[in-house]
Amino acid sequence: MNLRVRLIGGTVLLITAIGIAVLLFLRVSLKAKLQGELQMRGISIAKFVADACAHPIITENIVALQFIVNNSRKVEEDIAYVFVQDQAGAVMVHTFGETFPVGLRGVNIPAAKPEPRVELLRTNEGPIYDIATPIADGDLGTVHVGLHGASVRRSLATLMGAGIGVTLACIIVFGGLALTADLLITRNLSVLSEAVGALGIGDLEHRITVTARDEFGALGRAFNAMADNIQRSEEKLVDLNTSLLREIRDRNRAQEELRLASGELARQNEELKKLDRLRDGFIRDVSHELKTPVAKHAMQLEILRNLAEREGFAAAVEPVVGVMETSVRRQQQVIRNLLGLSRLEAGVRGYRHEPVRLDEVLHGVIDDYRSLAAAKGSTFTLALAPLTILSDGEMLWHVFSNLVNNAIKFQREGGRGEIGISVAAEGAEAVVRIRDQGIGLDPEERTKVFEKFYQATASTEGSGVGLTICKMIVEGVGGRIGFESEGRGKGATAVVALPLGERDGA
């Protein structure tokens, strides 16, 4: 049921109900009141008449009595009749004209004097109130005044009619008011529900035009404010969503890149591993291929020497064979050390920790270079203490070979230099000194010689490994390497200091 029906219907029903209730109440109370009033009137009239009748009765003046009775009847319209009864109940005078209704005779006998008694009679003329008043306390008789009760009804009817009219008017007025109110409410509500509906389906632009300053106006303004907020929030959400999507896209892209990079990394790793394997294989193959011919040289030289000895031309071939044997031995050593070095650099081989007799290693190196030194006119002066340290003999051979080679190589022009080699324990170190009387080094060169590619003169003898690698090896086994020189033209001393362990020594 919609608002209008409820509002108006309710109003109508309410007013009707109130109206009915009020009217009923009024009717009941008024009826009683009116009846009472009527009776009072009747009683007063009756009393008046009674008083007036007293003297005529006493004087037995019927004419006067009739006169009084007739006159009193005219007092009011509603008086239907007046009659007087004597003590015995006989009707002395009446206003009925010719005949007195028989039925009235025994009516309404006042029970208790001197009070008047009212009795309602139902006659053909309608309800009549018979008011019987005792005359002189009933000693002289009774006055009966008959009042038409219809007037009461008439009054009531008029009142009721008016009441109903008023009620109807109220219904119309209040119904109208209700309608007006409803119209007002409905109109505003429909504006609001339209706005809400619009908002509901997503029209965030919709606003209510507010003109009123009442509660509806406030509601409308509140709605507008809400719609503003929603619209702003929506915009913010859209922005947020856009930036989130962008971020997701970026992140996805980054992830994809990461995945690709990771894949690339895995691939490169595989490549590196393959290269590692290839390199190891290469070193093995090269090793074999280098060593085999040299080994065969050694074998053939052995055969040659044996043959020479057997056939007796050993002395003749000795110089040649001797040089070849030396050369082969050097080759073997060089190859061994080169391969050891390359394995070291490749990380395949680590530094060994074995007992190394430094003096023996140096003896070995010196033996190798003896012929070369002799050819260059250099002599060796030795002071080799028999020191044993825990280190990598093969790699140290490398270093010393290089240093001795340099000592020989950098002799002064045509100089008959002395190469002094010493091994001695100095404190916690075993120190090897290789001193030459060669071209020497100035202060700057003393450190620069260890730099890669410094003085890149290809070495024809020795292992061909630079001082850079010597430094790497010496430091790798925990030692120090350096040059001492008093300057150009004053020779130089290579100093290698190696840690002398607790148990190391002679």
Partner 1 sequence: MKTLLIVEDDTDIQDYYQILFGDLGVTTLQAYTGRQALAFLDAGQPVDLIILDIVLPEMGGEEFFRALRLERRSTIPVIVCSVDEKLVEPLHRIGTVQATFLKGDPGSVLVRMIRGLLGLS
**Which residues contact partner 1 by CB under 8 A?**
284, 287-288, 291-292, 294-300, 302-303, 306, 328, 332
Amino acid identity at 262: S
- Least distance CB 308 / partner 1 (angstroms): 13
- Calculate the CA 73 to chain-centre distance: 103
Give the residue ranges of DSSP H helices in 201-214.
Answer: none
Nearer to partner 1, 295 or 495 (CB): 295
Nearer to partner 1, 155 or 331 (CB): 331
- Least distance CB 391 / partner 1 (angstroms): 20
- Least distance CB 368 / partner 1 (angstroms): 16
Give the residue ranges of DSSP H helices in 59-109.
Answer: 62-75
Checking phi first, is residue 413 left (phi over 0); if not, alpha (psi -120 to 50) or beta? beta
Grouping H, G, I as helix, E, B as strand and the rest as coil, residue 202 is coil
Other C-beta atoms closer than 10 Å to the C-beta of 441 total 22
Nearer to partner 1, 233 or 306 (CB): 306
- Least distance CB 294 / partner 1 (angstroms): 6
State how far the Cα of 2 lies from the Cα of 185, in Å rounded to an integer: 12
- Least distance CB 274 / partner 1 (angstroms): 21
Relative to beta strand 79-85, strand 379-384 is unpaired
- Least distance CB 300 / partner 1 (angstroms): 7
Closest CA to 20 of 144, 121, 163: 163
Contact 46, 116 (CB under 8 A): yes
What DSSP string describes 122-141?
EETTEEEEEEEEEEGGGTSE
Contact 121, 39 (CB under 8 A): no
Nearer to partner 1, 206 or 349 (CB): 349
Nearer to partner 1, 23 or 328 (CB): 328
Closest CA to 470 of 492, 494, 440: 494
State how far the Cα of 375 lies from the Cα of 379, in Å rounded to an integer: 10
Nearer to partner 1, 305 or 357 (CB): 305
Tell me which DSSP letter residue 451 carries: S
- Least distance CB 367 / partner 1 (angstroms): 16
State how far the Cα of 491 lies from the Cα of 482, in Å rounded to an integer: 14
Nearer to partner 1, 297 or 446 (CB): 297
Amino acid identity at 285: D
- Least distance CB 333 / partner 1 (angstroms): 11
Nearer to partner 1, 294 or 384 (CB): 294
